[in-house]
């Protein structure tokens, strides 16, 4: 067994007082620096809120994991937040997010492209297509801008569906926020984004 030697050390009291004071003033200085930095970072990190423009990359998959759409390999999608430019489920999921964030959004039909409405399926005479060769899967734009899809071709009639192709579907998005900025006055007046990825 080793003998335990008790070592006592006497420090001059004045020196301890000085050291404590120095430590305290350094600490206060540090707090001030941290507070200022936090303020700067808050100003730099902009959150996605109403009237901000965000740039995102997204990949959309269905419930089987099949990719339905993706912005990867293309320009990112720029949009004006809070102006109903995206489906509600996307806007809700992106609210408050910042540049650099990756998120996964599961969007139910109610927050996506809606429930299927059987009333939007119609049978129209083949003649209405003016002799064009009509095939299942063809899409046409109606006079009101709505996209209709051919779902059945008969000998003298065609069945068309005006439901959104993604109606009734659960949608799975992988999203990356690339940038967030203030919208310009013009963008706010028009309700959409200008510049890269936008109109005009
Ligand atoms: Zn515009």
Q: How far apart are CA 150 and CA 129, in angstroms?
A: 11
Does 20 map to a domain? Answer: yes
For residue 22, the SS3 value is: helix
For residue 59, the SS3 value is: strand
Does 2 map to a domain? Answer: no
Residue 186's pLDDT is 94
Chain position carrying tokens 């489906």? 87
Q: How many helices (H) and strands (E) does the chain have?
A: 3, 9
Q: How far is the CA of 5 from the centre of ligand 1 (A)?
A: 83
141 and 68 in a single domain? The answer is no
User: Per residue of the chain (200 residues), what is the pLDDT tens digit?
Assistant: 455 555 555 556 667 677 777 777 778 888 888 888 877 776 677 999 999 999 999 999 999 999 999 999 999 999 999 999 999 999 999 999 999 999 999 999 999 999 999 999 999 999 988 888 999 999 988 777 788 899 999 999 999 999 988 999 999 999 999 999 999 999 999 999 998 756 66
Reference 79, options 174, 168, 181; nearest CA is 181
Question: At 57, which CATH number?
Answer: 3.10.50.40
Q: How far is the CA of 53 from the centre of ligand 1 (A)?
A: 13
Q: How far is the CA of 157 from the centre of ligand 1 (A)?
A: 41
Residue 144's pLDDT is 77
Q: How far is the CA of 75 from the centre of ligand 1 (A)?
A: 19
How far CA 43 is from CA of 37, 47, 50, 78, in Å, comes to 10, 10, 17, 21
CA atoms within 13 A on the CB side of 191: 4
Does 199 map to a domain? Answer: no
125 and 61 in a single domain? The answer is no
Question: At 135, which CATH number?
Answer: 2.40.10.330
Reference 171, options 87, 79, 80; nearest CA is 87
Residue 1's pLDDT is 47
108 and 77 in a single domain? The answer is yes
Does 18 map to a domain? Answer: yes
Q: How far is the CA of 195 from the centre of ligand 1 (A)?
A: 9
Does 142 map to a domain? Answer: yes
Q: How far is the CA of 193 from the centre of ligand 1 (A)?
A: 7
69 and 96 in a single domain? The answer is yes
104 and 63 in a single domain? The answer is yes
Residue 16's pLDDT is 67
Residue 151 structural domain: 118-161
Sheet holding 121-125, edge to edge: 121-125, 157-161, 147-153, 139-141
Q: How far is the CA of 34 from the centre of ligand 1 (A)?
A: 42
65 and 92 in a single domain? The answer is yes
Does 87 map to a domain? Answer: yes
Residue 199's pLDDT is 66
26 and 99 in a single domain? The answer is no
| Both tokens assigned to 188 | 């706010």
Q: How many domains does the chain have?
A: 3
Q: How far apart are CA 173 and CA 184, in angstroms?
A: 28
């Amino acid at each position: 067994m080793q003998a335990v030697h008790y070592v006592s050390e006497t420090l001059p009291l004045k020196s301890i007082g000085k050291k404590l004071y120095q430590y305290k003033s350094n600490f206060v200085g540090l707090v001030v620096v941290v507070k200022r930095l936090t303020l700067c970072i808050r100003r730099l990190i902009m959150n996605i809120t109403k009237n901000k423009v965000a740039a995102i990359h997204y990949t959309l998959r269905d419930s089987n994991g099949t990719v339905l759409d993706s912005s990867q390999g293309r320009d990112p999608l720029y949009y004006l937040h809070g102006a109903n430019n995206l489906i509600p489920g996307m806007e809700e999921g992106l609210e408050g997010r910042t540049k650099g964030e990756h998120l996964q959004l599961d969007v139910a039909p109610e927050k996506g492209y809606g429930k299927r409405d059987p009333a939007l399926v119609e049978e129209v005479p083949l003649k209405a297509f003016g002799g064009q060769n009509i095939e299942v899967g063809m899409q046409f734009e109606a006079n009101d801008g709505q996209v209709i899809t051919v779902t059945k071709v008969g000998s003298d009639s065609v069945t068309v569906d005006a439901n959104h192709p993604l109606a009734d579907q659960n949608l799975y998005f992988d999203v990356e926020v690339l940038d967030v900025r203030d919208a310009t006055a013009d963008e706010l007046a028009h309700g959409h984004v200008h510049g890269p990825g936008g109109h005009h």
